Structure 1
Amino acid sequence: MPSERPLVVLSSEIPGNLLKDASEKGKIELRIWKPGKGDEKRTCAPREWVMDNIQGASALLVQLQIKVDEELLQKAGESLKVVSTMSVGYDHIDLEACAKHNVRLGYTPGVLNEAVADTALLLTLMVTRHASTAHRLVIDGQWPSTPMRPLTMAGPSVQGKTIGFLGFGEIAQCTARRFMAFRPKRIVYTASKPKPFDPHSDRFQTFMDDMLSAYHDKHKKLPVEVENIPDLRKMAAEADILIVIANYTKSTHHAINADVLKNMKKTAYVVNVARGPLIDTDALVDALKHDQIAGAGLDVIEGEPNITPDHAILSEDLNDKVVLLPHIGSATYEARQGMARLAELNLLGGLHLREDGPADKFDAEIAGPK
C-alpha cells in the first residue's frame, strides 16, 4: 500500500536533523539524493533525478543548482505544497509558476549575513593587497628570487577611502559595520530609497557593534557619513571600493555594465558577493584589461560553476587584478547549519508539521499563498 505520510524530496544531503527526526517519528517519508559512482564531483542531484522523484511529493528542498520551473511543478502535480530553498537568493525559482500551482516558498535570509559580510571584506583585502599574487609567488618557489623592493606588491589602504554599495540591505549593512573599523572617509550606497543605517546589529553583538552604538549614542551621529546616492553611475564614480550586494532580478541584470565601469576611478575596485549576472563579465574584463579600474574581487560570476582556466577573467594579464572564489560567501559552519535548519523549518511549516510553534509557521516566505 502507498505511504500516507507526505513525501519530502531533498536534492542533496544537508547539515540538519529536523527532517530525519520527522521521518523517524513517522511524520514524513524522506527521499534524499546521495552521490553514487561517477557522482564524486556533483554537489547535488542532477535535474533528471529530481524530475524522476518529484511526482507525488508534498515538499521539495533544493539549493541554487536546481531550477524550480513550470516543467518541474507540472511533473510534481497537485500534491506539491511547499518548496524550500537553502539559500537567500531565489533567482533559480519561478515565482509566478509557484503561485500558479499554489506552492509556498521558503528561503533562508538573515542567518548567513555575517558570513557573507566577512567574505566581502576578505575579497577587498585580498585584491587590494595582492594576497593571491603573493601566495602564488611563495607556492611557486619564487620568493627567494623576487626583489622585495619598497613598493613590491604594495596596494592601497582601505583607510580613508569611500566605500560604495549597490544595495544596502542587511548583508550590506553588516559589511559596512566591518568597514567602519578601517576608518573609511565615507560610505555611499545606491538603493531604491534611503535606508537607516543601524550602527549595531540586532542579531549579533560584537565589539564593533558596541563601539559604534556607544559613539552614536554619545554624539548622535555615526563616525562616518553614510549617504544614499540614487544614481548608480554617480555613486560608482565616487567609490574607491564598490561592493555589490543586491538582489538579482530582471531589472538588476548587468547593473554594473560598461557605462558604470567607465565612470569609476582608475584606482577603484569592484567586489561582488551577491550574484554573478549583476555584473556584465565581458565589460568587467574589458575594463580591467584597459586599466579603467584597478581590480575585482569576486565570489560569484556569470556562468558559474563552469569557469575553466581559459576563461577571460582568468587570463594571465589579469592575475594580479582579479581574485575569484568559488561562491563560498556563506561557507562557515555556523551559517550553513543555520541555513539548513531554517530551510527544514520552512518546509515543515509548509506541511503543517512544525513542533516549535504554530504547525504551519514560516520563518521566511517569499511567495505563494498561505
Structure 2
Amino acid sequence: MSNGHILITRQLTDAAMQAAGELGRELVVGGEQPPDRSWLLEAARGASAVVCTLTEQIDAELLDAAGSDLRVVANVAVGYDNVDTAAAKERGVVVSNTPGVLDAATADLTMALLLGLSRRVTEGDRFLRAGTSWIWGPRMFVGTDVSAGCTLGVVGYGRIGKAVARRALAFDMDVLAHSPSLPTSGEDGSGVSYTDLPTLLRLADIVTLHVPLTEDTRHLIAAEGLRAMKRDALLINTARGGVVDTEALVAALRAGEIGGAALDVFEDEPNVDPRLLEFDNVVLTPHIASAGRATRDRMGTLAVDNVAAVLDGEEALTPVNAGG
C-alpha cells in the first residue's frame, strides 16, 4: 500500500483536522478559500487520498495528476456531483460521501427557510432596519399559516426529505412526498402520502426539494412545473442549485405565477443571479444547510474515517462507488 500524502483541499473544522493529523500521514492542506486549480493539480501528485469539498472538481485530469497511488476521494458532502465517479471507478479509486450526519441540520434549515418565507420574517426584518415608519395593522405582513391546513410537498423522500417531513408533521402540516423509487399512491406509517410529481406540484402550498443533482434532476423544476404550482405556493431549495431552472424561476416570480422562493443553493454558485435580489418574496442564504458546529465536525471526521478505512485495506464506511 502506498505511503503517499493525504491532500485536504480546504481547511476543515478543528475536530476534523485533528482526526486527519492522527492518521500518521503527511498532510497537504489548502486554505480557507477554494484552491486555485493549478495548486490543486500539483498538490494531488502522489497523493494516496484526497479529502475534498463541493467547491473542487475532482475530474479525470485531477485523478490522472494524482497518479496510480490514489486510493480514495472522500467528499465532505452528501451530494457528489463535483466528483467524476465513473472516471474514479475506471482508475480503481473509491469515492465516499458524508450521508446521515447532516440530515437534521439540513432539515432544520429547511424549516427555518419555510417559516422565514411563509411568515415574511426576513421581509419584516428588512422593513424595520430601513427605518420605515409603521404601526400595527390587521393587513400588515400577512403570510401563510403553516399550521392551518397547509400542505407541504417533499420532492426527494430520502433521509433528509423524511427528516423535513417529521418536522412538518409536528407543525400539523399535511405532507405529500414524491421520489422515483416510491409508489404514486398510499401512505407511509407516519401519515405522509405518496404521489406523483405533477400532483404534488399542483396540490402543495409549499414545495421543498431534497434530490441529488443528476442528469435526471437537472432543471427538475422548470417553467412547466412552476406553472403547475398554485399562484401563492412557495418553493424551497436546499438541495443543489441546478435542480431549479433559474431563468424559469425568475420569470415565474415576475409573472406572479408562484408566491415566493427560499434558496440556499444556486445554479452558478457562488454567484447569485442578481435578478433574485429584486424580489421581497425571495429569501436567500449562502449554502448554510449543514452549517451547524457539530454537523460540520461530523462531516469532516466521517470523510477522514473513510480515508482511514480505505488506506488500511478495508471498505469505505459510506462509499459512493467501490473503486475498480
What TM-score do you get using the length of structure 1 for normalisation? 0.82
- Structure 2 match to 1:212: none
- Structure 1 match to 2:9: 11
Aligned with 1:301 (options 266, 279, 286): 266
Checking the alignment, whether the CA contact within 8 Å between 1:173 and 1:197 is kept in structure 2 is no
Checking the alignment, whether the CA contact within 8 Å between 2:165 and 2:192 is kept in structure 1 is no
Checking the alignment, whether the CA contact within 8 Å between 1:165 and 1:243 is kept in structure 2 is yes
Give, as a single letter, the amino acid of the residue that structure 2 aligns with 1:364.
T
For the structure 1 residues 92 and 197, does the alpha-carbon distance in structure 2 shift closer, same or farther, using more than 3 Å as the test?
farther
Alpha-carbon shift at residue 270 of structure 1 (Å): 0.4
SS in 1 for 2:252: helix
Q: Deviations over 1:278-314 (max 9, x none)?
A: 0001111111111111000111111111226xx1111
- Structure 1 match to 2:141: 153
Indicate whether 1:313 and 2:311 are aligned: no
Mapped to 1, the partners of 2:322 and 2:215 lie a distance apart of: 20
Give, as a single letter, the amino acid of the residue that structure 1 aligns with 2:181.
K
Mapped to 2, the partners of 1:239 and 1:264 lie a distance apart of: 7
Mapped to 2, the partners of 1:45 and 1:240 lie a distance apart of: 41
Alpha-carbon shift at residue 197 of structure 1 (Å): 7.6
Mapped to 2, the partners of 1:167 and 1:183 lie a distance apart of: 20
* Count of aligned positions: 317
Mapped to 2, the partners of 1:127 and 1:18 lie a distance apart of: 39
Mapped to 2, the partners of 1:147 and 1:290 lie a distance apart of: 30
SS in 2 for 1:271: strand
Query: Which residues of 2 match residues 338-353 of structure 1 at below 5 A?
Result: 338-352=298-312
- Structure 2 match to 1:173: 162
Mapped to 1, the partners of 2:86 and 2:264 lie a distance apart of: 29
SS in 2 for 1:261: helix
Checking the alignment, whether the CA contact within 8 Å between 1:163 and 1:243 is kept in structure 2 is yes
Checking the alignment, whether the CA contact within 8 Å between 2:9 and 2:40 is kept in structure 1 is yes
Aligned with 1:45 (options 35, 44, 55): 35
Instruction: Flag structure 2 segments of 5+ consecutive residues without an equivalent.
Output: none
Moved beyond 3 Å, runs of 4+: 195-198
SS in 2 for 1:323: strand
Q: Deviations over 1:132-154 (max 9, x none)?
A: 11111222222xx1243212111
Checking the alignment, whether the CA contact within 8 Å between 1:98 and 1:368 is kept in structure 2 is no
- Structure (1 or 2) with the larger CA radius of gyration: 1
Instruction: Flag structure 1 segments of 5+ consecutive residues without an equivalent.
Output: 36-42, 199-220, 353-358
Indicate whether 1:30 and 2:27 are aligned: yes
Indicate whether 1:283 and 2:248 are aligned: yes
CA RMSD of aligned residues (A): 1.7
Give, as a single letter, the amino acid of the residue that structure 1 aligns with 2:182.
P
- Structure 2 match to 1:264: 229
Checking the alignment, whether the CA contact within 8 Å between 2:264 and 2:284 is kept in structure 1 is yes
Alpha-carbon shift at residue 328 of structure 1 (Å): 0.1
SS in 1 for 2:92: coil
Indicate whether 1:336 and 2:324 are aligned: no
Indicate whether 1:362 and 2:322 are aligned: no
Checking the alignment, whether the CA contact within 8 Å between 1:108 and 1:343 is kept in structure 2 is yes
Give, as a single letter, the amino acid of the residue that structure 1 aligns with 2:12.
I
Give, as a single letter, the amino acid of the residue that structure 2 aligns with 1:180.
L
SS in 2 for 1:365: coil
Q: Deviations over 1:335-359 (max 9, x none)?
A: 100001100000111211xxxxxx6
SS in 1 for 2:80: coil
Indicate whether 1:228 and 2:225 are aligned: no
Checking the alignment, whether the CA contact within 8 Å between 1:257 and 1:283 is kept in structure 2 is yes
Q: Deviations over 1:28-48 (max 9, x none)?
A: 11111235xxxxxxx232222
Q: Deviations over 1:40-91 (max 9, x none)?
A: xxx2322221111111111111000000001111111111111001100000
Mapped to 2, the partners of 1:101 and 1:303 lie a distance apart of: 29
Aligned with 1:116 (options 76, 81, 106): 106
For the structure 1 residues 236 and 8, does the alpha-carbon distance in structure 2 shift closer, same or farther, using more than 3 Å as the test?
same
SS in 1 for 2:316: coil
What TM-score do you get using the length of structure 2 for normalisation? 0.94
Alpha-carbon shift at residue 180 of structure 1 (Å): 1.0
